[in-house]
Structure 1
Amino acid sequence: MKSTNNVKFTQQKFSSLHRIALILATFYSATWVLTFTAIFWGLTAKFSERVLADSVSQNLPTLPLDKRQQQQQDIPTNTNPNIEINPEFRSRSYLLGPADQIAIQVQRFSELNFAGQISQEGLVVLPLIGTVNLRGITVEQAKQVIRDRLNKFIKNPDVTVSLIVQRPVTVTVTGQVARPGFYPLQIPQISAAIFAAGGTNSTADLRGVLIRRTLANGTFAEQKIDLLTPLQTGIAPPVLRLEDGDAIIVPYQQVTVDNKSDRDVAARYSLAAAQGLVQVTVTGEVAKPGFYNLPAGSGRISAALVAAGGATLKADLRDVRVRRILVDGSIVEEPIDLYTPLANATELFDFPLQNGDAIVVPQLEASKSQDYDFNLISRSTLIKPRIYVRVLSYASGGLSSFYIENGSRFLDALNGVAVNAADLRKIALFRFDREQGKAISQKLDAKAALQGDVSQNPLLEDNDVIVIGRNLVERVGYAINTVTQPFRDVLGFLLFFQQLRNGAQNLFAPNSRSNK
């Protein structure tokens, strides 16, 4: 019986060992499998990454070496133009002075505290110690002065001095700002100074704003500040604390097509002058020379020409001039080409105007008219839309007047009046020449014009007078040359033809017709 029990015990022991061995073998095998799997997976992933990288690099275009070098050179190494600051403009310890408001606290002795303004003499009156002069010293120095005075009454006093409100500094702002002048600033920053002066004008050079400071020895120190680059790139603007007597000069920048983007940025920033009524003078080859007020937001050269009734067909739009008087009294003149954008179908360079500007539209010289497209100009919005023409003839019953589209020619005017066939070759065009101060005439042949002769079909101008009939042409020509020469202005020229119809020399009397 005992032997049987030993056998059973041995069998049970063997079964337990067997199970343990089996478990260990299984664990050992699983460990090796997982290890080899991880190694294999890592190699596969690495291989896949390499294949993917190779395939991507083959598909991406590669830049030539010189191109990559050029791109690296194009990356600016220093995008902040305001790093170099004159030592005279670096932040210095603030010096107390009249109108500064300060607070003084003495720990454990509240009855000795003080809060108030420094007097015009630079003094404050403190409890226990009396009058203290704080003019021209720093806050830290003021603290030490008060401690030394209190030390006679209190052992090792704990004193705190704080600047509560800084006194205003008075600066001069001049140049291209809305209101040049002298301004007290509570915040002594350049932005506050420009804002106080109404903001910068459209012709301000924000890359070259100048701060001029008078030093103690009577010499001047200057610091040039670029305000435009921070607007374009987002870098921090320079922080300079202005001092009493500083002058901020905003220089003039010539307006060109190349710097249009800079001006667009400057026009939208917070320190740009608010747009208001612009008063300008328009003279030269325009329909109605004179003084004009342009509404806020429309102070452009195109708006000025439209307000003056548009340019005449004699105008040279390639050389329109804008004259401007600067703050220092000097005069600058900007040449503006309004013709080329029309001819090339490009964006119009619409020059921004300022109060007091004068727009001068010159007359086109004959030597420069060969490549000048009058038909194009006559259809543009810069030209007077309609002109007033008069026709004097027997067939139409006298002097007839009517408006016609600007850019119309001689034959266009004849379409609206009655003309005898016999008079088609006996026509004259009379026009007042302002430079000569007299009437000039040109004989025209309507039949030749109908057959395509351009020289006989000229462009009409405002206040032209067409006279039809040989006898009538001769009488008008004689009267102009012998009686009324010279005319003072175009009004006298027009009144002359009015008198021909209504005055004593009425050319339409019966005896005049018989001599036709």
Structure 2
Amino acid sequence: MPKGIDAQPPLLASPPEPILIPEPETPLPDSKGYTLGPGDRVQIDIFNVPEYSGKNGQHQIQIDGTLNLPLIGNVSVQGITLDKAKELIQEKYGEYLQIPIVNLNLLAARPLKIAIAGEVQHPGSYTISPIVSQGGNSKSGTQLPTVTKALQVAGGVTTSADIRQIKIRRLQLNAPEEVININLWELLESGNLVQDISLRDGDTLFVPSITEINPVESNQVASANFAGTNTQPLNIAVVGEVARPGPYILETDIDQSQVLPTEENLDSSEADSNISLSQNTTLHTVTKAIKMAGGITSAADIRQIRVRRLTRAGTEQIIKVDLWQLLQSGDLSQDIVLQSGDTIYVPVADEVNLDELAEVTASSFSPGNLKINVIGEVIKPGTIFVTPNSTLNQALLAAGGFNPARAETEEIELIRLNPNGTVTRRKVQVDFSAKVNEETNPTLLNNDVIVVGRSGRATFTDNVGGVLAPFSPINRILGIFFDIFD
């Protein structure tokens, strides 16, 4: 109320019961950190002046950065904190009120323009609206987007991100630029929410590349809600000792609208649930890529697999993968999560350990079936497909068994192409009653060749038949003779 308008006692002579202003139900930005700007909506409450308080005291900062307030007119608040603005408004009202007591609250923060760069799926400039919710007594609360929310908007961090060294560059009014260090690994490890600070208009968020990837930590980061969600196909390459080396596209069926936050859901009070990761999100790993490439060959060295990866900065990272450790101890950290552009290289083993090979062949990243060539005197000669770790006896039976009239049933010849390019040939004594053993019933490898020779009788008959072909009656008599003594 202006001074000198009437002769009534001073406003504070007999103060009535104070008007209690409820605290907002949702946390507000730190008054020492948040600076006001055009678009912010505030509420001013002046003690014992209800006509300028409550709903009557709600104002939006104009495009020129000023508040148009009763009695005192325009007050410039752009670039200053809530506390500073409160002091300024209180000082202005001091010209009209004897002892002005002013309370200033931020009802709704303006949309923030933030730059996000480095190891994120979609670096660039983003405009993110704060979360606004209605509290009790028509009182609104506002919450600024945090570091993790901003990373989600940018598609999440890549698997090459160093989440211990995230930097926020923040402009200060009449002061040097502030650099804030963020360690989101502490958030993952101990739930330290202090690291997930709220952002300010004009902030620049930079996620650097990690110098050396730790498979265990990499998989933990990949499962975080601020990590990339694989909503886009991954372009990768698989080369070396796999059945079908070459480039591949790992597809996903995830609905992007259910995973990535949008301007619409960031404006709602349900934003937290809208931007959480879908439970059906599929993480593409090394073993899935190898399986897509037809699986490893019998010559693969699964202890020395390498993943080559390019960072956003253009540098190359080499990640070591030991799938033998995965098979032996169940170390899932070896099955690292892939990102677009990765190249998987499966080298040739110096030598093949047959005892280990049986376990490798039965793994999920080996071919689902083995190709075996059975030639010679069997019922169904040709290429057959058998399950991993099938034996010689199983392959012979899959080919229909021996041709009883022509096959040499005592032994066969097994031909194998070795990883070093050499070929081994050996005779194997056939024993259909034998269990798996290397002497009479060995485990087969992919592309093994089984040769079933002719019996002595078939060889003699074929040779004599060729000579006596013009004398076919004699040839038939010899056949009858052998049948009698069979």
- So what's the TM-score if we normalise by structure 2? 0.59
2:51 to 107, 110, 132: 110
Q: Which residue of 2 aligns with 1:291?
A: 249
SS at match of 2:186: helix
Distance change >3 Å, CA 324–CA 174, structure 1 → 2: same
Say what the alpha-carbon RMSD is for the aligned residues: 4.8
Equivalent of 2:342 in 325, 336, 358: 358
Q: Is 2:311 the counterpart of 1:326? A: yes
Q: 1:160 corresponds to which letter in structure 2? A: V
Unaligned runs of 5+ in 1: 1-89, 471-509
Q: Deviations over 1:1-40 (max 9, x none)?
A: xxxxxxxxxxxxxxxxxxxxxxxxxxxxxxxxxxxxxxxx
Alignment correspondent of 1:97:
37
For the residues of structure 1 that align with 2:444 and 2:309, how far apart are their CA atoms?
34
The yes-or-no answer on 1:281 pairing with 2:236 is: yes
Structure showing greater relative contact order (alpha-carbon pairs closer than 8 Å, 6 or more residues apart): 2
Q: What code does the residue aligned with 1:287 have?
A: A
Equivalent AA in structure 2 for residue 286 of structure 1: V
**What letter matches 2:335 in structure 1?**
F
Contact 1:117 1:124 in 2 (8 A): yes
- Contact 2:309 2:343 survives alignment (8 Å): no
For the 8 Å contact 2:232–2:252, the answer to whether it is kept is: yes
Q: Which of residues 136, 141, 156 is equivalent to 2:79?
A: 136
Which whole-Å CA distance do the structure 2 matches of 1:97 and 1:206 have between them?
A: 31
Residues paired across the two proteins, number: 374
Q: In the TM superposition, what is the alpha-carbon distance from 1:429 to its structure 2 partner?
A: 4.4
> Quick check: 424-433 or 273-282, which moved more?
424-433
Shift in Å, 1:397: 7.6
User: By how many angstroms is 1:332 displaced?
Assistant: 2.2
Instruction: Find the aligned partners of 2:100 and 2:333 in 1 and give their Cα distance.
Output: 68
Contact 1:425 1:444 in 2 (8 A): no
Paired with 1:172 and 1:357, the residues of 2 have a C-alpha distance of: 24
Q: Which letter does structure 2 place at the counterpart of 1:383?
A: S
TM-score by length of 1: 0.56
Name the CA distance, whole Å, in 1 between partners of 2:325 and 2:298.
16
User: What SS is found at the alignment partner of 1:340?
Assistant: helix
Deviations 1:116-160 (A, max 9, x none): 2212221333445443332233445444545665666x3547363
Identity of aligned residues (%): 25
3-state secondary structure, aligned to 1:309: coil
Q: Which residue of 2 aligns with 1:14?
A: none
Separation of aligned partners in 1, 2:93 and 2:332 = 74
Letter in 2 for 1:164: L
**Distance in 1 (alpha carbons) for counterparts of 2:413 and 2:363:** 30
Equivalent position of 1:32 in the other structure: none
1:104, 1:115 within 8 Å by CA — same for their partners in 2?
Answer: yes
Report SS of the residue matched to 1:229. Answer: helix
Give the aligned partner of residue 120 of structure 1.
Answer: 63
Residue identity matched to 1:169? L
Output aligned runs, 1:86-485, within 5 Å: 92=32, 94-104=34-44, 108=49, 110=51, 114-143=57-86, 145-146=88-89, 154=96, 156=98, 158=100, 160=102, 162=104, 163-177=106-120, 179-183=122-126, 184-186=128-130, 187-200=144-157, 204-214=161-171, 221-233=178-190, 237-238=194-195, 240-253=197-210, 254-256=212-214, 259=216, 264=220, 271=226, 279=234, 281=236, 283-284=238-239, 285-289=241-245, 290-293=248-251, 296-297=281-282, 299-342=284-327, 344-356=328-340, 358=342, 360-365=344-349, 367-369=350-352, 373-393=356-376, 395-396=377-378, 400-408=382-390, 413-414=395-396, 416=399, 417-418=401-402, 429=415, 442=423, 444-446=425-427, 461-463=445-447
1:362-419 CA-partner distances (Å, limit 9, x unpaired): 2424x344698222322333311312223343x3488522112334566764564547
| Partner residue, 1:3 | none
Does structure 2 retain, via aligned residues, the 8 Å contact 1:100–1:167?
Answer: yes
Q: What CA deviation, in whole Å up to 9, does each residue of 1:443-491 have, x standing for no partner? A: 73435798x9979999755455556669xxxxxxxxxxxxxxxxxxxxx
Contact 1:278 1:355 (C-alpha < 8 Å) held by counterparts: no
Partner of 2:319: helix, strand, or coil?
strand
Q: CA deviation at 1:93?
A: 5.0
